[in-house]
Amino acid sequence: MQETWRWFGPGDTISLGHIAQAGATGIVTSLHELPTGDLWREEDIAERKRLIESAGLIWSVIESIPVHNDIKARTGDFNRMIDNYRESVINAGRAGVTTVCYNFMPVVDWTRTSLSYKLKNGSQALRFEMADFAAYDIHVLRRAGAEADYDPDVLKKANRRFQEMSGEEVDQLERNIIAGLPGGEGSHDRDSIRYSIQQFNELGTEKFRENLFLFLQEVIPAAESVGVKMCIHPDDPPFSLFGLPRVVSTADDVRALLEAFPSPANGLTLCAGSFGSRADNNLVAMAREFAQRVYFVHLRNVVREADGSFYESDHLAGDNDMVGLVAALLEEERRRSRTGAASEIPMRPDHGLLMGDELSTGAVKPGYSYIGRLKGLAEIRGVIHALKCLEPTGS
């Protein structure tokens, strides 16, 4: 597997030199400075690629060309934005960057309630606490009908939790959910998020899925024309938030997506942490079933709790079978090699615990510590090395 590293561009405090020292050879990045919906010009892509290559690295994956909420809802200026998206994909392919990760989550992107959950060893993790999220949804955002979306036990915990929260804790929770991790094109305030939630909830799941398929119908032919593989990232977490529709949360969702567009340009980002946040997703089985359409992999682990809460653990210490998952992916690489196809699947150590000196200095982005990801990459590298040593000769 190709070892890659997410880099947030020239302003990232983790330099390309640091990434090379970690042993990664590929970069996963985006033109983060561009507003969502704008055109990616050929010259801008080429300049970012030149910068990466000047450090002896390869721009392996674009993560991501973001999909504007107007495209997801098919409202506002979505036609122009789809034209821009199509042309951006073509420009990326012409520049030689041929794997594009994207997501189709409405309103909010990956969501956590705590960005500094303290573990027993003193390191800090990202956490999604269902009772805290429900407390925010019901008592702070005051979304109409929110109570109906939670189990009675969660409602009790949420009510108690809200009564215990200080004003500062409420503000911090809101920043974590809305302002700290915005989805799509920018931060939200309470009024705007309520409006956006209502807009997508009125669409419903099947209409929202139809909008995803329409988007692919408009973009996949452009990707095919320049050899780009589009690989959708699953919902994170893979269940409804704020009652919003989710269409990339389960194996059934992935089957529907890949069957609707059997083109090799229509593929999957297999994010172990996202899919693995729900116990009914069998990661190893999914890796085997969808292997031929897996073009990018995020490897991270989680510890799940019965009410849907979870926290991000060490890469080899959570509830997901990381060894089994890596073994299934290596098996797919061997299959590709036998057919003469490009066999290496780009993977990156997704997120990492905050530890060591970074506990005081902080990380450039929540989850994207240098030391934590370095540790995760080393652990995954060890798993890959051990499994390859066990491969039968000539396989």
Going by C-alpha positions, the residue among 372, 391, 385, 240 that lies closest to residue 301 is 372
Catalytic one among 101, 271, 311, 370?
A: 271
Distances in whole angstroms, Cα of residue 57 to Cα of each of 7, 11, 21, 48, 227: 12, 17, 11, 12, 21
Whether 271 is catalytic is: yes
Check: CB of residue 95 under 8 Å from CB of residue 226.
no
Catalytic one among 137, 233, 253, 315?
A: 233
Catalytic one among 68, 137, 253, 298?
A: 298
Whether 188 is catalytic is: no
Catalytic one among 117, 132, 350, 370?
A: 350
Catalytic one among 117, 136, 150, 368?
A: 368
Which residue has tokens 């956490």? 127
Check: CB of residue 388 under 8 Å from CB of residue 330.
yes
Check: CB of residue 314 under 8 Å from CB of residue 376.
yes
Whether 351 is catalytic is: yes
> What is the length of the chain?
395
Which residues, 6 or more positions from 105, have their beta carbon under 8 angstroms from its beta carbon?
A: 183, 235, 236, 246
Q: Is the dihedral of CA 25, 28, 31, 33 positive or negative?
A: negative
Whether 233 is catalytic is: yes
Q: What is the set of active-site residues? A: 233, 271, 298, 350-351, 368
